[in-house]
Amino acid sequence: MKNKTTVTEFILMGFPTNQNMSILHSVLFSFIYFWSLMGNVLIIMITTLDQHLHTPMYFFLKNLSFLDLCLISTTVPKSIANSMTHNNAISFLDCVTQVFLVVLLAAAELLFLTAMSFDRYAAICHPLHYEVIMDTGTCLQMAAAAWLGGGLSAVMHTASTFSLSFCGSSVIRQFFCDIPQLLAISCSENLAREFVPILISVVLSFCCFIFIIISYIYVFSTVKKIPSTEGQSKAYSTCIPHLLVVALFLSTGCIAYLKPTTGSPSTSDLVISVFYTVVPPTLNPIIYSVRNKAVKNALRRLILGNLIKR
């Protein structure tokens, strides 16, 4: 068996390579990337410049937007470039980097989504003590824990994946270096070194999901007691979309990592990976800006302020 270091590059063969499909893929992914880029940059800019949005909720939202921006930038531009140049090669080092960044950003995003659910719980269920519960120190500690957790998860998965041997096929049936597809082409007989980190991640993800569900059970039970229909609608409008994004992100991610994979092409693998790496960064700007009155009002204030200065 050859050593894994003999592999100098992988071939990403996720999407069809004929000319028409390559053009369609490039155009579609370019549009999605542009939309996500503009939406997430806009949220980061607004939550940074507008003093009214310097609250825990928008502090976490700014971090989430930054994570979304980095996550989609890790996978989509490379895929677009591959389709346009008809060169699907990715170096071994670039593949390692891509795996590390995808796991780091995805794990940190899950932890930030969990922190955001706790923030909503504190704001709705304990409004009088909200500023004490979610003070600056607590928010910074939660953010640091999310980044640290993502980093540790990335180190664990990257080290265990690339400690395996790759001495046979170097063709990855995916549009980015994804761990399940790397496991499918590994020639190592003992894959337990990577299955253990996957199991740990799935258990932790399940714990985060349970925490989020419990938080929203308390939130929705409190919202029902609000006499104002407008107040109930406002609470539901911020909580339900967040819960749907969490459910989509977690369900597709867990399916991708727990689903048995083979070296043969699979459309379902591609669709699932798009749903947990591309769709959330694209949907979040819509959920948290287009449908958020506070963000729209902040944008209006910034635009009017610039016009008045001129």
Higher-pLDDT residue of 116, 301: 116
> DSSP for 31-82?
HHHHHHHHHHHHHHHHHHH-GGG-SHHHHHHHHHHHHHHHHHHHHHHHHHHH
Strands 171-172 and 9-12: parallel
The string of pLDDT tens digits covering residues 165-195 is 787 678 888 889 988 888 888 777 666 666 7
Any idea what DSSP says for residue 10?
E
Homologous superfamily of the 4-309 domain (CATH): Rhodopsin 7-helix transmembrane proteins (1.20.1070.10)
> Taking a C-beta distance cutoff of 8 angstroms, is the pair 235, 219 a contact?
yes
Strands 9-12 and 89-91: antiparallel
The string of pLDDT tens digits covering residues 245-283 is 888 888 888 887 777 665 555 677 788 888 888 888 888
Out of 37-41, 130-134, 166-170, least confident range:
166-170
Does the structure show a pLDDT above 60 at 227? yes
Structural domain spans, the chain? 4-309
